[in-house]
Amino acid sequence: MKAEPALSSRIARMGEIFQLAYVPGDMEAAIRFWTQLMGAGPFFRRRALSFEHSLYRGAPSPIRFDVLIGYWGNLQIELIEQLNDAPSIYRDWTAAGQEGLQHVCIAVDDITAARAQSVDQGMEVVQEVYWPGGGAIYVDTGGGPGTMVEMVQLAPEGHARFAMYRDAARGWNGADPVRDI
């Protein structure tokens, strides 16, 4: 009888981690940590993001948040700050007094298939956002705080945006650490 693979190995088959996502208690301190101490950056800030199709635990939830994305070598670092009180994984995280690494992210080719596979493997899909040509799901792997996995299907413009962020990090001299786009 063949043993069922561990949950972590089943997720690994879906894609490789390319991003660490943080929900810090103090955004300015997090920016200083990543840019000045760790040398990541520059960070590109997108303000007041919201998605027409956003679900939290299966119900519509109009979350609105700022996101800052930068690179630390080839690893993407995401900093998230929710701006409203809509139900979300970010609100739950901060309400529980947690901060720091909130989830990791893997890229998938087909978000619908990744969702079905996650559910089939017993993971709970906690949050979902969809946009033309892609979307993201956030699944609880059941391992406790910090074990949420985001699976994202990027549209072509998302791939181009991330490539631009990564290119800006190469040879970055520390100037202009946060850039609003």
In this structure, what DSSP letter does residue 113 have? Answer: H
Domains defined along the chain, listed by start: 7-171 (3.10.180.10)
Pair 39, 177: CB distance under 8 Å: no
One-letter amino acid at 46 equals R
Pair 128, 112: CB distance under 8 Å: no
**Residue 41 — left, alpha, or beta (φ > 0 → left; ψ -120 to 50 → alpha)?**
left
Pair 45, 179: CB distance under 8 Å: yes
Pair 177, 43: CB distance under 8 Å: yes
Measuring CA to CA, how many Å separate 136 from each of 54, 91, 111, 174?
10, 17, 7, 31
pLDDT digits (tens, 9 = 90+) for 120-172: 988 899 999 999 999 999 999 877 666 799 999 999 999 999 999 999 999 99
Helices (H) and strands (E) in the chain, counts: 5, 11
pLDDT category, 1, cuts 50, 70, 90?
very low
Q: Smallest Cα–Cα separation from 110: which of 75, 135, 74? A: 135
Q: Could you give the CA distance from residue 142 to residue 151 in angstroms, rounded to a whole number?
A: 16
Could you tell me which residues come within 8 angstroms of residue 27 by beta carbon, excluding any fewer than 6 positions away? 66, 68, 79, 81
pLDDT digits (tens, 9 = 90+) for 7-53: 555 565 778 899 999 999 999 999 999 999 999 999 999 999 999 89
pTM of the model: 0.91
Q: What is the mean pLDDT of residues 82-105?
A: 94
Task: Reply yes or no on whether the pLDDT at 73 is more than 80.
Answer: yes
